[in-house]
Structure 1
């Protein structure tokens, strides 16, 4: 009997060899099919050179609610090394006496359109207003790195990182990009390494006004929701096809770069940044996100966030808010100047944002206005806690909080030395470091960066 088994086994092996059967054993690993690149335009950012630096005798806001009076902060090799009442300075470190001054993490603007047009606020490249569903467009492919708004945000505003978003003409506006606020020839040389992309979405008046005026859908808020849901249904099917191909092989599905973005959202790789003013629409979007299995990172503008702060807390969604912009359209009408402190007091995540080339230079003053408005109604939030609205919370909502947004050892040394209390209208950035490199020094004319566009342009007092 044994000889029969051996003979049959031999015949089977011979048959496999003769027919070219290359089937593997069940235990052999399956090679994953080659898919498309998730990062075809990678960051080429390299930190500028810096030197070990210790700042002494300063008030420190660490970005996560901590405060150190008469403290010291040390950074080297592009990273925060230590902070406290005293630190052990490295040999040869530059020492800066900050008596009477403050140190904070660099400000992060979650909502900017710098570079998406020409100087003076022209926003011509920010909206691909040709279809309400345009997730295939990427903001970085419109950004002009020589926009002088970048250096003004750095020198006047202490902004070290920012997110550039498409506009809000469309329900699906396209991908955002996170940048380090450094001078560069290309957008890729500014791209924050490892930062996830965002998807800009928009509720409310803008999409229905743009497309309703053309007698297209959506022309109503119910049309907005219907088009959103139809699109997510298609995105789920696209994801199923590609997931199956990457898991099992076979013929690759037809590629669609619009649905590549939506698949990334459904997979948790791309963060939803949702323009939305009114409370009931934020609630609808939260339910829609549950229906289709994605998460909203932040509602932007969020004029009525104070009405649904409990929902924002429950679903861990940040509200990116202005201090006192209101009334410029109906959905921005029911605003209160205490929006930020009310949302914060409810335990939800608050972010101070700009959406403006001038506002980005004064974000710390915007936060100060909201802080004061809250105190006048009895919500007493400490200054050091409110600083989280400007650094840690936006970093969290942009998916970069493990790298920046607070002065914690090991994080990027994105640091601002202020010449006074940063919540005072009289205060300005004195020095700004990005990854430990001194990018701006108010006391040194050689450390006041200008863009290539500005070089040779007439300045104030020049003959025109």
Structure 2
């Protein structure tokens, strides 16, 4: 039962989130005495900076030229397949996709794709590159702020090391053109995620995907209760997990209502993130394994007024495919990881196939610096597991699991994830069937710029960190 004062807060937020929450979540209101701030112009300055974008993307596409790929088999990322197809892009955007009769302007770069395949750039919805970079040492362990069960105030982007060699390996070996970097799963609320374009950059902002919404990492199950229960703190049980989550959401609702009513409230970075979730501006990505817990989380989301965009790992998603479809929640899953802890014990290789059969959204993810280099192969494993059951899923649909569906769950599907006119020219030319273990990217374009070419050593990006350290006698 919800206590009376909480019920009033909940009722209030239902009335205010649709209108009054148009307020900026980061600006404070009221007098200096009400907010605890010493100077009113400090508040004005904070509001001005927020309106310009905090840690805003400074990404600029690398130079590219008008290019056409012709003669290849084209998977468009939306379930379509074109034999002997043409993909034409210019100015960083897809211009045309079609059959062999698709017009190609004269005097542009044309690549013969005969016997090859073209897909949209591969997207990994769940990565920790940059936050847990290589080499994997304690000094680089920056993905879990495991100091409190709820840390919504932290942002994964503030840990990202752009020189992580994993970025360039994911590009060259896996055709990865965009990826979401998440905090770890030690906490019930781990903080904001960020989406990156997989390009070399000196700063995180130079990689930050322009216009992509933040995500919000949550976790249920064994991890939070194990981490904090071992310290004699709450939560130590699954019921503790839900209780702490609900109480934190109610506090955020009170904060939102106080802001909307014009009360002076002290700025709270964590609650700003939670209010962004309640407003639908920040997308929830929830680490969750067991089907019963996913069902509970969806009920909690309805109670609080937010939506889960995707359950990650979700090894038991196949048990509730109908519920996931009805709630429009994607399942970002592995092809075959299971059994490494109790909540993963019922994982099956047919998970993706059963979800597809139920009409639910399927995404294949990595959560691993090695698997990100072969999401195409992971997707094939999931497809073949279904085929052994008699569930025949087309190659074109399987490509969608690692392109458009990932983009949809990350809130960037209007910009990338499929080969459609007007979208970013994020394109991979494969030297063979992209779902084969024998194939690999031959060329990768990001926003129309050729970022990797297996046939040109000068277009094989290498992280600064991999170039080595100064030797004895070198300038220090």
TM-score scaled by length of structure 2: 0.87
Q: Deviations over 1:309-362 (max 9, x none)?
A: 101100000000000001110001101100011101100000000000000001
Shift of 1:252: 3.7
Distance in 2 of aligned mates of 1:252 and 1:194 = 31
In the alignment, structure 1 residue 119 sits paired with structure 2 residue 134: yes
What secondary structure is seen at the aligned counterpart in 2 of 1:115? Answer: coil
Q: Counterparts of 1:187-226 in structure 2 under 5 Å?
A: 187-226=204-243
Q: Cα RMSD between the aligned structures?
A: 1.6
Partner residue in 2 for 1:87 = 102
The answer (yes or no) to whether the contact 1:52–1:90 under 8 Å persists in 2 is no
Q: Counterparts of 1:3-22 in structure 2 under 5 Å?
A: none
In the alignment, structure 1 residue 129 sits paired with structure 2 residue 146: yes
Distance in 1 of aligned mates of 2:206 and 2:456 = 25
Partner residue in 1 for 2:91 = 77
Partner residue in 1 for 2:191 = 174
What secondary structure is seen at the aligned counterpart in 1 of 2:405? Answer: helix
Distance in 2 of aligned mates of 1:257 and 1:367 = 38
The answer (yes or no) to whether the contact 1:116–1:144 under 8 Å persists in 2 is yes
Q: Counterparts of 1:55-70 in structure 2 under 5 Å?
A: 55-70=69-84
What secondary structure is seen at the aligned counterpart in 2 of 1:188? Answer: helix
Instruction: Indicate which of 383, 389, 399 corresponds to 1:371.
Output: 383
Distance in 2 of aligned mates of 1:456 and 1:443 = 24
Partner residue in 2 for 1:437 = 449
Partner residue in 1 for 2:399 = 387
Shift of 1:91: 3.1
The answer (yes or no) to whether the contact 2:133–2:165 under 8 Å persists in 1 is no
Partner residue in 2 for 1:100 = 115
Shift of 1:457: 6.1
Instruction: Indicate which of 173, 178, 185 corresponds to 1:161.
Output: 178
Distance in 1 of aligned mates of 2:434 and 2:206 = 30
Instruction: Indicate which of 339, 343, 358 corresponds to 1:331.
Output: 343
Distance in 1 of aligned mates of 2:105 and 2:423 = 18
Shift of 1:90: 2.3
Shift of 1:157: 0.3
The answer (yes or no) to whether the contact 1:148–1:450 under 8 Å persists in 2 is yes
Q: Deviations over 1:383-440 (max 9, x none)?
A: 0011110000010000000000000000000000000001110000000000000000
The answer (yes or no) to whether the contact 1:74–1:89 under 8 Å persists in 2 is yes
In the alignment, structure 1 residue 231 sits paired with structure 2 residue 248: yes
Distance in 1 of aligned mates of 2:167 and 2:306 = 32
In the alignment, structure 1 residue 146 sits paired with structure 2 residue 160: no
Q: Counterparts of 1:259-408 in structure 2 under 5 Å?
A: 259-408=271-420
Distance 1:457 1:415, change over 3 A: farther
The answer (yes or no) to whether the contact 1:217–1:223 under 8 Å persists in 2 is yes
Q: Which has the larger radius of gyration?
A: 1
Q: Counterparts of 1:440-459 in structure 2 under 5 Å?
A: 440-456=452-468
Partner residue in 2 for 1:14 = none
Distance in 2 of aligned mates of 1:242 and 1:311 = 35
The answer (yes or no) to whether the contact 1:121–1:357 under 8 Å persists in 2 is no
Distance in 2 of aligned mates of 1:313 and 1:118 = 35
Distance in 2 of aligned mates of 1:116 and 1:431 = 27
**Relative to structure 2, which stretch is displaced further, 367-376 or 111-120?**
111-120
Distance in 1 of aligned mates of 2:105 and 2:61 = 21
**Structure 1 residues not aligned, in runs of 5+:** 1-31, 246-250, 459-464
The answer (yes or no) to whether the contact 1:163–1:178 under 8 Å persists in 2 is yes
Distance in 1 of aligned mates of 2:325 and 2:375 = 23
Distance in 1 of aligned mates of 2:338 and 2:295 = 21
Partner residue in 2 for 1:49 = 63
Partner residue in 1 for 2:261 = 244
Q: Deviations over 1:288-319 (max 9, x none)?
A: 00000000000000000000110110000000
Number of aligned residue pairs: 424
> Larger helix proportion, structure 1 or 2?
2
**Relative to structure 2, which stretch is displaced further, 84-93 or 423-432?**
84-93
Distance in 2 of aligned mates of 1:386 and 1:119 = 30
